[in-house]
Structures are given as C-alpha cells and as structure tokens.
Amino acid sequence: MSVGDPARSRKTSKMENEPGIDVRVTDDEDDDTPTGDKLHLRLLLMEDKQRSQLMWRQVAAFQDKVTVSFNTFSPETLLFHVRALSSLPNQNRILANSIHSLARLRMVVQQQLRRANLRSDGSVYFAGLQESSVVARCTQFFGWFFEFMDYLNELHSNFVERIFLPLFKFFHEISFLGSRSRASTSASTFSKMSLFSVDSGGGEMEENHDNVFKEREAEERAEEDVTVSVDTARRRAQSRTALQLLGNEYKDIKGLYDTTDMDKVAHRLSFLKDQLDFMLEEEDEIDPDLFSPESQQLLYPLDMDEGTENLVRLPLDLLVKFRKAIWLARRWLELYDKRTYDLNTKLQKVLTLENTLTQRLQSLDGNILQHEHQLERNTDDLHRLMKREERTDGLTFALYDIEAKAESLEGQLKQLRRLRDAITSRVKLVAQTGRVQEYRRLKMDFEKNKLQRYLLERLLATLNYQRQLSEQDRKVELEMRPSLIRHTNHVQDTCERLEQTIREQKRERDNIRCALIPIQEDRQTLSDKVSRMSANNVANSADSHRRLRSGEARFVRTINVNNRVNRLLPNQVNGCLAVPRPPLKAPGWISPPQW
C-alpha cells in the first residue's frame, strides 16, 4: 500500500471499538493550525519570523508523536508474539517458520482469523482449540501491530506534508550559491507558441507571406532568447563560483549568500525521506541495507534469526529515521534563522558589502597598474642581465674566431716567407749570370712579397691585440659572473613573483566583478522593497490622519446616557456580548494506538 493511502487512515476508526486497542486523533496545537494545503497557504502569507516559529511548532509536535511511539512500541513483545504465532499448530509450517516480512505476517494472521468465531457484541473467539487464548492474544496483538504500522505510515505522510514539503518550498534559500532553475521568460514563451499559431487553411498570397515572415521572426526571437538564457546561466554560474571563492575572505558573503550547509541538510533529509518511502511501501520484502546502525543497538540483547530480526527491527528503524529527520529539520530551521529578517538591516549589510568590494576593486586596479609598471622595468633589467650573461659566451666564441684567423694568417705569412727565400736565392743566381730583365722581374716580386708580409704582420698584430682585450674582458666577466647570476636570479624571481601577484589580483578582480552582479541586483531589489514599504507606510499614515479627527474614535460608538439608547457593537446581541462560534478544529497530528 502506498504512502498516505486513505485506506490506512480509515482503519483507525474501525479498530476503536475492539478490546485492547485505543486509537484517538488529537492535536497538540491551537485550533486554527492548518494542515496540508492550508498550512502551505498560511506559510505563504506569513512573514519570515512567524513562518519559522510555526515550523518550529510543527517539528516539536512531530517529535512528541515520535517519542510517544517509541514509548508505545516494545520489540520484546513483538518478538514474543511472533514466536508464539509461529509455534501454533494447524497452520502452514513453511509459511509460519518464515515470517520475515509484513506481507507474510499478514498471511499467517489471516489464516488464524479464518478459524475464529464472532460473538454478538462483535468480539472474536476461537472455539474448539486448546490454544484459543494464545491465538486470541496473538491475533489481538498483531491487529494492534498492523494499526501501529499504519500509524507510522500516516505519521510519515504528515511529516512529508507538514514539514518536508514546507521546508523545501518556503525555507530553501534560492540564491546564487544555491540551485537555481532557468525559467522561461514571457517573450521566449510567446516566441515558442507563435511557431504553432499560423493558420493551416488557405488564404491569399500576402497572408501566407506574412505568416512565413512571422515564423522566421519568431524563430529568430526564439534563438535569441535561448542565447540570452544560456549567457545568463553562464554569468550566474560564474557569479556563484566567485561568491563561493570570496566567501571565506568576506564573512558577509557567507552570511548572505552561502547556502552550502543548508543544501547539505536538504540533501540528507531528501535521501532519508526516500528511504522511508521505500521501507513503508515495500511490505513483501525487507531490505536490511536500508537500516540505520542505531536501530541495531536497540535490539540488544535479543537473540533471533536474521529474518525475524529484520521484521522486529523495521518499526524501530522507522522511528530512528524519524528522529534523524527531526534533527535535520531542526538544523535546517537553525540555519534559516541565522539570516536577517529586517529588510533595512539586510539592505545595510548588502550596501556595506558592496562598498567594501567596490573599494577593494579600486585598490586592486591601482595595485595591478603599479605592479605592471614594476614588472615592465624588471623585465627590461632582466633582458639586459641575460644579455650580459651571454657576453661571456660571445667573448669565448670571438676568441675562437680570432685564433682561427691568426692561424690562417700565420700560415699565409709562412708561405710568403718561403717565397721570399726562394726569390732571394733566385736573385743571387741571376746576378751572377747578368740577366738584367729577369733580375728586374724578381726584384718586383720581392717588393710585392715584402708588402704582403708587412700587411699580414700588421693584421696578426691587430688580432693579437684583440685577443688580449677579449681575454681580459672574458676574465673580468668570469669573475663577475657569479654575482651577475645571483642578481639575475633575484630579478627573475621578482618578475615571477610580480607575475603571480598580478595573476592573483586579476583573478580576484574578476571574481569581485562577477560577485558584484548579484550583490548589485539584490541591493536594487531590496531598495525597491524598502521604498515601497516606506511609501505604503506614509500613505497609510496620511490616510489615517485624514479619517481620524480630534475627539473622535473611528471604531467606537458613543452611548447616549440621557436617552438611554444603546447602540450595540457588531458583536452584541440584545445588549449582551455575543460569543462567536468557535472555528472548526483542523485535523492535526494523530496519536499512536495504545496497546
């Protein structure tokens, strides 16, 4: 049978006249306490503070019923009657020895009730059985037990209607840090509906052209609406992330927008409610994986098999889960009560938070600009230092080039010297023979060789001088290189630190900009509400001053004593105060059946 089935609640009235069973419907609250939809309507019309107070009373009433149920139910008594029922003769032994679920227990009890007789007063007795008293006692107890399980089911239904649903409907913060559903706007709804609003019948060409144009325009509007909604959802997600990141630094953000703790409580309560739904709906089989560890401790030191333990543990576990639900509901209301109820105070907090974030944003902009200038200067210094470090390598390569050129010039100079020696020996031979023409030619070659040697010697001297300078520079650079490397590393670390600082500051600036979007929206919304409230108060005050005059009271009529004419108030009859009819007592929390 499903949760909240009316058939279960009707069983309560049927068992009122049976012996040993006392089922009464009571309400611990005031007479005007609504239930179900009336409760939701009343919560909707209440202010936050009164709404919270009403829910605290609902939770307290539910806790009283759970406490009474704990005191009413006894697992030892249930185990005793289950064993007594399974030991009765003249029944299906296979079924009697496997009473491990409510469905099997009902079948065994129904088998025993088929042998019962009915007295004139409606009571049940078992004739011709040696164990008639035991059978009567067992059937009577399990009749009460089934009513008790129905009561737990109805109590769960009342919890869902009067606590669970109102908590999610009226006490669940829907903010940028909570879940937010994307609702379609009126423009998008119109655009989607207009796609199907074109008449399918025949008409003029102009009408068809207009219809096609309208369809295209509607499709374009729908695409624009979808794009806008996606962008809005993306911005909201960015704002939610920004508020979460800034919540640890700014406590006002955590107090105004952070609903993480409430979301966790809501998730746990929803999961607990799903477990209760499954356990109450499923009577054919009991899943021990759904049991809470606390219910196992309540069965100590009872000794029984696993199937019987699951059956005896079921009502205890339901009551344990009810207690957990009470604790979660109280925790939910405690978190809800921490919020600010007064609009002026909340507006002041939002304004203070907005001013703080705005000042921080301006400070970040100045710091980012200053750090970027510092980074630019340090980057230029770092480039010069890195070039200075590269100078040592450049001098080393220059020395290699100078030595290579010097070796090449020395080789050329050696060849010229060998050529000079050859020309000198040739000139001596020609001078002995007296060949004048050849002598002149050799003399010109000798002078040419002399000039070439002089040029190469000067080049070698220049290269040697350059090599000396390069070696000296390289020696100086090598001596300065350790300190230069340390200074370069320091400048590089400074640049990296400045880059990291700028990235963090830019990230914080972007987070603050995203966080200011919902804060500014809330500030505008709260300002509008406060302005409307102030305008309404001023209007009501002005209207009251216009209607009330000096010496007159609006709702009090004057009695003329001289003429002894009594002008009765609206609630007076024949000169006496008429007592108004009491309101109908609303259905409230039911009480568990007493055994």
Domain ranges of the chain: 6-172+251-341, 354-530
In this prediction, residue 14 carries a pLDDT of: 35
Query: For 428-445, what is the mean pLDDT?
Result: 84
Q: Specify the residue for token string 């089989």.
A: 285
For tokens 């019962």, what's the residue? 116
Angstrom distance (rounded) from CA 416 to CA 420 = 6
For the ranges 231-240, 372-381, 429-438, 451-460, which has the lowest average pLDDT? 231-240
**pLDDT score of 502 more than 90:** yes
More confident residue, 443 or 342: 443
Using DSSP's 3-state secondary structure scheme, residue 23 falls into coil
Task: Please tell me the number of Cα atoms within 13 Å of 348 on its side-chain side.
Answer: 6
Judged by average pLDDT, the poorest of 14-18, 278-282, 409-413 is: 14-18
Which range, of 60-69, 160-169, 543-552, 567-576, averages the lowest pLDDT? 567-576
The whole-number pLDDT of residue 302 equals: 83
Nearest to 108 by CA among 78, 86, 83: 86
Q: How far apart are the first and last CA of the chain?
A: 24
CA 289/CA 180 separation, integer angstroms: 33
Question: 447, 441, 452: which is closest to 414 by C-alpha?
Answer: 452
Residue 239 CB coordination number (10 Å): 22
As a whole number of angstroms, the distance between CA 371 and CA 501 comes to 8
pLDDT reported for residue 116 = 61
pLDDT in tens, 160-189: 999 999 999 988 865 444 443 333 333 333
Place of tokens 């009122």: 16
- Report yes or no: 116 and 125 within 8 Å, Cβ to Cβ: yes
Bigger pLDDT: 218 or 410?
410
**Which residues have C-beta within 8 Å of that of residue 74, sequence separation ≥ 6?**
none
- How many other C-beta atoms are found inside a 10 Å radius of the C-beta of residue 155? 22
In contact, 498 and 374? CB cutoff 8 Å:
yes
Distance CA 577, CA 560 (A): 19
Q: Is 133:7 a contact under the CB 8 Å cutoff? A: no
Which is nearest to 265 in space by CA: 356, 194, 171? 171
- Find out whether 133 and 116 touch, Cβ atoms under 8 Å: no
Structure tokens at 373: 């200038």
**Most distant pair of Cα atoms in the chain: their distance:** 183
Q: What tokens does 360 get?
A: 């921080």
pLDDT of residue 172: 81
Pairing status of strand 576-577 against strand 124-125: unpaired
Query: Within 10 Å of residue 473's Cβ, how many Cβ atoms?
Result: 16
Name the residue with tokens 């655009």. Answer: 191
Cα separation of 316 and 323, whole Å?
A: 11
Provide the mean pLDDT of the chain: 75
Write the single-letter amino acid at 148: F
Q: How many residues does the chain have?
A: 595
- The CATH class that applies to domain 354-530 reads mainly alpha
Report in angstroms the alpha-carbon separations of 36 from 27, 43, 158. Answer: 14, 11, 8
| Contact status, residue 88 vs residue 131, Cβ threshold 8 Å | yes
With tokens 């099997």, the residue in question is: 104
Q: How far apart are CA 256 and CA 352, in angstroms?
A: 12
- Comparing 5-9, 88-92, 508-512, the range with the smallest average pLDDT is 5-9
> How many Å apart are CA 350 and CA 528, to the nearest integer?
14
**CA proximity to 242, closest of 593, 6, 518, 567:** 518
pLDDT, residue 230, reads 73
Contact 373, 469 (CB under 8 A): no
Which amino acid type is present at position 405?
Answer: K
What pLDDT, on the 0 to 100 scale, is given for residue 314?
Answer: 92
**Percent above pLDDT 70 for the chain:** 70
- Residue 290 pLDDT exceeds 70: yes
Confidence of residue 91 (pLDDT cuts 50, 70, 90): low
The answer to whether residues 194 and 218 touch, using CB atoms and an 8 Å cutoff, is yes
Preceding omega of 75 cis (within 30 degrees of 0): no
Q: Hey, what are 263's tokens?
A: 């979301």
Burial class (CB in 10 A: 0-12, 13-18, 19+), 69: buried
- Contact criterion met (CB below 8 Å) for 586 and 580: no
Amino acid at 12: T
Alpha carbon distance 199, 207 (integer Å): 10
- Specify the range with the lowest mean pLDDT, choosing from 307-316, 385-394, 561-570: 561-570
Give me the pLDDT at residue 285, please: 85
pTM, 2 dp = 0.57
Beta bridge partners of 22: 594
Most confident of 254-258, 427-431, 566-570, 576-580: 427-431
| Under 8 Å between Cβ of 88 and 113 | no
The rounded distance, in Å, linking the Cα atoms of 30 and 333 is 21
Tens digit of each residue's pLDDT (9 = 90 or more) over 317-370: 999 999 999 999 999 999 888 876 677 888 888 898 889 899 999 999 999 999
| H-helix segments, 115-259 | 132-159, 165-170, 186-194, 205-247, 251-257
pLDDT tens digits, residue range 111-162? 777 766 555 555 555 555 555 677 778 888 988 999 999 999 999 999 999 9
DSSP secondary-structure letter at 589? P
CB atoms within 10 A of CB 233: 13
Dist. CA 90–CA 108, nearest whole Å: 11
